[in-house]
Structure 1
């Protein structure tokens, strides 16, 4: 049986790989802006916080960038240093969409309420979860009962992050929190308040939520009930 620490490390690597996948404009200490990019997205891909990107490149709110613009980044060296110990660890499997678990197999609840401003994407470098906008200090809840396997801010681009293991197959991740209310190894109930919403390593107040099945990020909207309703399973 894999230990909770190993599960957490596998997910951490998965998040890092998802943040860098498909990026052909990132080389060394510079990044070339592509169509559809935002500072938030570039932060995810390069491991440079939004605050640092803005400061290093003289960009002021509302953080407008242009296609073809070359930005200074500093994520490469730090990412390699922080991921060096993880280099030998990889997610245990990659589950094709045709083999995702059936809807209703497990009971999930919304981790918070608000407008979904970024949806899940299967494209390389796409969003591997959903982003939900809200107010600073808004409650974040565990989407299901489980055990906390990671609490921290070591993964650049995700801010204050919580990961919860729900079984050998499922893990949920909650990023950009303001206040963290749980500890590593703690058991949590479904619907238990685990954090408050913030904007750590993000360009606006939001929750980035991931649902992972056997280390593969799957679309949370496929498995969550209608927002505002109580799960019936």
Structure 2
């Protein structure tokens, strides 16, 4: 299991194999940690999905796809996919459309994807796949999200039902932002941790990221990316040993997507969005120094290494993800030389 942390630093040519290079100079000792509230809370969502029967609809003069969606109860995107309609979803009178059946939840302001999934006892990643949601994963008020069928839910095992309430990094990346009005813009990043975004504000990701990352801290590499160890578990990042309290620095410039401890296995966790589908994750942290929606510079201290989460020694778990998929940090970090 893996969470992530990463930071920028110069890499000495003499760095020994298997040891992360030293970080950029840490902040002065006088800098005091800033306690942050969790950025995501499971909010109440009323489970009132409509069940739509599969049918066919003949387009009338003046019809729009959104109007047909409201009339039939299906989602605009679901109808467009069923009929291979590319944006901007142009239709013509007399055209026959397939209306896909299923359960649809109408999104209300401030609802998060995670909260919607929990209201119906389903895994959010399954909903993402079912609706083919793409970055930046911002839901819109009035949007109709297709849910797994009642038959699929009733066939779930006890373990699958329990797993639907467990969060992972991908859940937060794709389902942690609150829904906005149809034409409402995301919120620009703030500069300090004291200016916390309101709970119904969606974070705006950076643009034009160059894809350059740096190491987060010095220390022996405890575990590398991929499948390994005696139990054959997969690590979605790398784990770096550290003394408790060691500063953890941002691997690259970005915006804080999450800073909290809702994922038990990772403990204190910070997720940074760098734009263009790039995400970095930093786990097993304490003394989180940043808040959701805050603009972060490369090399800025974001927390301190600790043993929070399901680990038995202080360390930093660091991941790099591109378009939801974990990638080997060794391919994107400077050579240890």
Q: Is 1:189 aligned to 2:297, yes or no?
A: yes
Aligned partner of 2:280 among 155, 161, 172: 172
Q: Please report how far the alpha carbon of residue 80 of structure 1 lies from its aligned counterpart in structure 2 after TM superposition.
A: 3.4
Answering whether residue 164 of structure 2 is matched by residue 80 of structure 1, we say: yes
Aligned to 1:199: 307
* Deviation per residue, 1:45-88 (Å, 9 max, x gap): xxxxxxxxxxxxxxxxxxxxxxxxxxxxxx987643345xx6xx
SS state at 1:190 partner: coil
Partners of 1:225 and 1:113 in 2: how far apart?
13
Give distance in 1, aligned partners of 2:162 and 2:246.
31
Q: Measure the CA separation in 2 of the matches of 1:213 and 1:81.
A: 25
5+ residue gaps in structure 2? 1-111, 114-123, 126-158, 176-209
1:217 paired with 2:326, answer yes
Q: TM-score, normalised by structure 2?
A: 0.38
Report 1 or 2 for greater relative contact order, CA contacts < 8 Å, sequence distance ≥ 6. 2
Taking the aligned partners of 2:166 and 2:220, their CA distance within structure 1 comes to: 33
2:266 to 133, 155, 158: 158
**Structure 1 or 2: more helix by fraction:** 1
* Distance in structure 2 (CA, Å) of the matches to 1:78 and 1:195: 31
The partner residue of 2:217 within 112, 136, 142 is 112
- What is aligned with 1:66? none
The farther-off stretch of 118-127 and 107-116 is 118-127
Helix, strand or coil for the counterpart of 2:226? coil
Distance 2:317 2:166 in 1: 22
- Quick one: distance in 1 between partners of 2:225 and 2:274? 21
Report the Cα distance in structure 2 between the residues aligned to 1:76 and 1:176, rounded to whole angstroms: 26
Unmatched tracts of structure 1, length 5 or more: 7-12, 15-74, 91-104
Q: Matched residues in 1 for 2:227 and 2:236: separation?
A: 7
Distance 1:192-1:199 versus aligned 2 partners, 3 A rule: same
Separation in 2 of the partners of 1:140 and 1:183? 15
Cα distance, 1:179 vs. partner? 1.3
The alignment yields a C-alpha RMSD, in angstroms, of 3.4
Change in CA separation of 1:161 and 1:78 when aligned onto 2, cut-off 3 Å = farther
What is the aligned length?
Answer: 145
Q: Is residue 141 of structure 1 aligned with residue 246 of structure 2?
A: no
Partner SS for 2:164: helix
- Tell me: CA distance 1:222–1:187, structure 2 relative to 1, closer, same or farther (3 Å): same
Helix, strand or coil at the partner of 1:163: strand
Query: 3-state SS of the aligned residue for 1:177?
Result: strand
